[in-house]
Amino acid sequence: MQAVKRFINRMRSKSPWLLHFDCGSCNGCDIEILACLTPVYDVERFGIINVGNPFHADVLLVSGTVNHRNKKVLTNLHAQMPSPKLVVAIGACGLSGGIFREAYNVVGGIHKVLPVDVYVPGCPPKPEAIIDGVVLGLQKLQRLHEQPSVEKEA
C-alpha cells in the first residue's frame, strides 16, 4: 500500500493541478496568469492543468490583496485542498498588499492568512516569472511528496 501511495504522490508532482483565486485586485495579475495558459507560454508542457475544484488542486495561485471579506474564503479553499499542497503568491498585492496596503479593509499580503511557499514579485509579474515560480514550487512539492512523514498527515 505504501508503494502505491508513493507512486501516486510522485505522479501528482509530475502533473500538478492549479487552482487560481483572485482576492481582489486590478486584474493585471489575473490576465498574466491566464496568459500562461495560452499556447504562447503553454504551461501544459509541464503537465499543469487549471482546475476550478479545490478538492482536486495541488497548487493554489493567489493574486490580489487579502481583505476581511475574502480571507475566510481563501482559508476555506486552502483547507479543502489535499495535502501536501503548495501556495504561490502572485504580484505585489499578493506579497505585501501592494498599493492597497494602507486601506482600512486590507489585511495585507497572503502570508498573513496562509503559509506561502513561493513568492512571485511584480506589478504585474510577467508570465515567464509566474511559470518560473510555479516550477520552483513544483520542485518543493516533489520534495514534500518524497518525505515519508507526508503520508502520515494525509
Q: Give the pLDDT of the chain (154 residues) as one tens digit per residue.
A: 677 877 766 666 667 888 999 988 788 888 998 898 888 888 888 788 888 899 989 899 999 889 988 999 999 999 999 888 899 999 998 898 888 888 888 888 899 999 999 999 998 899 999 999 988 988 887 777 666 654 444 4
Report d(CA 138, CA 129) in Å as an integer. 14
Cell numbers found for residue 111: 502570508
Q: Count of alpha carbons within 13 Å of 151, Cβ hemisphere only?
A: 13
Q: Give domain 16-146's CATH architecture.
A: 3-Layer(aba) Sandwich (3.40)
Which of 112, 95, 93 is closest to 103 using CA atoms? Answer: 93
Look at residue 9 in the predicted model and tell me its pLDDT.
Answer: 66
Q: Taking the domains of the chain in order of start, what are their residue ranges?
A: 16-146
Report d(CA 36, CA 126) in Å as an integer. 9
